[in-house]
Amino acid sequence: MSTLWNKGTSATEIVEKFTVGNDKILDLRLAKYDVLGSKAHVAMLASIGLLTKEEEAILTQELDKILSEIEEGKFVIEEGVEDIHSQVELILTRRVGDIGKKIHSGRSRNDQVLVDLKLYFKDEALQIRDEVRNLFDTLLKLSTKFSNVLLPGYTHGQIAMPSSFGMWLSAYAETLVDDMTMLAAAYRIIDQNPLGSAAGYGSSFPLDREQTTRLLGFKTLHFNSVAAQMSRGKCEKALSYALAAIASTLNKLASDCSQYMSGNYGFISFPDELTTGSSIMPHKKNPDVWELIRARSNRLQSLPNEISLLCANLPHGYHRDFQLLKDILFPAIETTHSIIGMTQYMLENMRVNEKILEDPRYDYLFTVEEVNKRVLAGVPFRDAYKSVGIEVNNHTFVADISKEYDSVEKLNHTHIGSVGNLCNERISAKMDDIMKEF
């Protein structure tokens, strides 16, 4: 096993297998970032005289070659090599000799992996941001398109008051704004350069940490070397809360859609190819996609707890426990991309039932409208409420009254946030503001 820390002895095979775990597979996602971090470190070492300009040029050229190999899919972590850091240094040493051994001066594998992770998390967070923004735009577009189509609202699972497809879809759009606020906060926590903190206590070399901060595109740096190391676990936890928030929103939307497309509701439908059938019941159109979005979202909502428990009771400094954070978070990031993409795809193919309220089961949906109508005519609210309630209980409430309110316009709901005043433009402006936080 080739390791950066090897001092002439080797671990037994069983120990190597246990301690390395899935790192060789997961680390391939960090390959690009390890090279970028090394390039910035090389430039800084040259600027403080630990590398000559010639050595800097040679190392930078070879690192660029490795980066190209990574982008072309030709890079592998060889058998017997512990991790991405060892592999990059091994390749450099093979190609340029002893110059390659100088690249690790002034840094530890601890701050090296932190740099890799932070750069990776930043890129993933920005990609998730863009995916959520596309989903947000789709929701508002559909909200506007179906803004006048009434939809029964439910409380306690019972028919309650009139809503609309516009209100329903816009609600999820605005909730995504809150989720992006959490993602932006996580991004700011991540966007701090740890390079130069070494093993957690700095270095006797005169490292220029502000230079590497600029070169790597971090907004600022962890000034305190111990604080930099303490960010391991905290960054993952912050990101996990943001992913869990997004998952919570998608989970609820998936639950709505699974319910709304069922035969007992029939509010929405999807093309046959986006649903599945039953092996025994030929009439079935099952919402398998939405159910799996819901299930995977539920798994994502366990992320903060799992990461918190893994990091609990650890004193400051690096601990090997942190290695397992990659096992938890890397697959979760991929799942997040997947469920956002599938939600987007399903919504783009959603069909809306524009005649829901023709069903007589929704006649009582407008009792509140009738109460308010009587109040506007001068009847005290409690009296109006009681009289309409008696009519409902005696089955004398006029069913045809629903025809008076068969459109959003006739409902005359005009206050901010009502079915007649969704404020989608203002919701869009809220999202625009959050996008600037990244």
Residues known to be catalytic: 156, 278
User: What separation in angstroms does the CA of 302 have from each of 27, 57, 118, 358?
Assistant: 23, 47, 22, 42
List the one residue out of 135, 85, 188, 199 whose CA is nearest residue 347: 135
The per-residue DSSP string of 304-315 comes to HHHHHHHHTTPP
Between helix 225-260 and helix 165-190 the angle, nearest 10°, is 170
- Identify residue 126 by its one-letter amino acid code: L
Collapsing DSSP states into helix, strand and coil, what is residue 131? helix
- Cα-atom radius of gyration of the chain, to the nearest Å? 29
User: What separation in angstroms does the CA of 345 have from each of 141, 272, 294, 339?
Assistant: 14, 14, 15, 10
Between helix 288-300 and helix 324-348 the angle, nearest 10°, is 150
If you count DSSP H runs as helices and E runs as strands, how many of each does the chain have, helices first? 16, 6
In sequence order, the β-bridge partners of residue 220 are 192
Give the Cα separation of 240 and 332 in Å (integer). 9
Give the Cα separation of 210 and 220 in Å (integer). 8
Largest distance between two CA atoms of the chain: 94
List the one residue out of 362, 368, 144 whose CA is nearest residue 267: 362
Beta strands in 253-298 (DSSP E): 268-269
